[in-house]
Amino acid sequence: MAIYTKNGLEEIVDPVPSAGLVVRIIDSEYDLEKVLALRYKTYLDAGFYKSGGLKAVNGREIPDRYEAHATNIVLERDAKIIGAIRIIGDSDAGLPADKLYDCTQLRNNGAIIAEPSRFAVDPKAQGSHLSDILLQAMRQYALETGITDYVFSARPHQQEYYERFGAVAVTGILYHDDAKVPAIGFHWNIAATNKSFAERWDSTPLPRLTMVQAHA
């Protein structure tokens, strides 16, 4: 059994392969470099780099100021990272979502908010439901760490996809990060996750992953 730790979390990975898929939190600069390369591959064709919304060099994304406050969850198959999601913790640096809409009320109401971003799946693996597994990992991470609400942005054509899990669109079409790429702001209250998905996720744990609080 392999155990990975980061910031007080443990990931217990079942040694028996399940479709060869591993879900884990990265904990090294080496893994981060691979994630940055995957982001570049994923977002290049979408025009994010041409628009100036994201910066890249030598086939990898240049980390922004939020990376220092983020946790990256990845999907691996055959030791290759084929999917990733970044979860930015709320801090003095704020969240990218603060540029899109006012999160003050959530904070004042005691919500523990975070922002998932840089949702990336290897183009060769798209269409294999890896995005659903990343969303399941996001929810599981929130439940284990006390996050109550996610705020994030996504492309307008992805609205129906996120709403079926329980996220709610809270803005019209907006533009941010100096990019000319349209986006919609979303709010996902974890407790309000679509019941059918919550029950399925709870009854069918992620392949080879359980996140628990680490004990001293």
Tokens of 150: 């996610």
pLDDT digits (tens, 9 = 90+) for 153-191: 988 988 998 999 999 999 888 776 555 678 899 999 999
The contacts of residue 79 (CB under 8 Å, 6+ apart) are none
Least confident among 113-117, 169-173, 202-206: 202-206
pLDDT score recorded for residue 18 = 42
pLDDT score recorded for residue 177 = 56
- Mean predicted lDDT score pLDDT of the chain: 80
pLDDT score recorded for residue 35 = 95
Distance separating alpha carbons of residues 204 and 35, to the nearest angstrom: 27
Element (H, E) at 38: helix 29-44
Element (H, E) at 195: helix 195-203
Closest CA to 6 of 93, 73, 77: 73
Q: 200 φ, ψ to 5°? A: -65, -45
Is the distance from CB of 83 to CB of 125 less than 8 angstroms? yes
Among the four given CATH numbers 3.40.50.2020, 1.10.10.10, 3.40.630.30, 3.30.930.10, the one describing domain 2-213: 3.40.630.30
Give 209's pLDDT tier (boundaries 50, 70, 90).
Answer: very low
Give 124's pLDDT tier (boundaries 50, 70, 90).
Answer: confident
Query: What is the number of residues in the chain?
Result: 216
* pTM as predicted: 0.81
pLDDT over 90 (residue 78): no
Where exactly are the structural domains of the chain?
Answer: 2-213
- What are the DSSP E strand ranges found in the chain? 2-6, 9-13, 21-25, 56-57, 60-61, 70-77, 80-89, 113-121, 149-154, 168-175, 182-189, 210-213
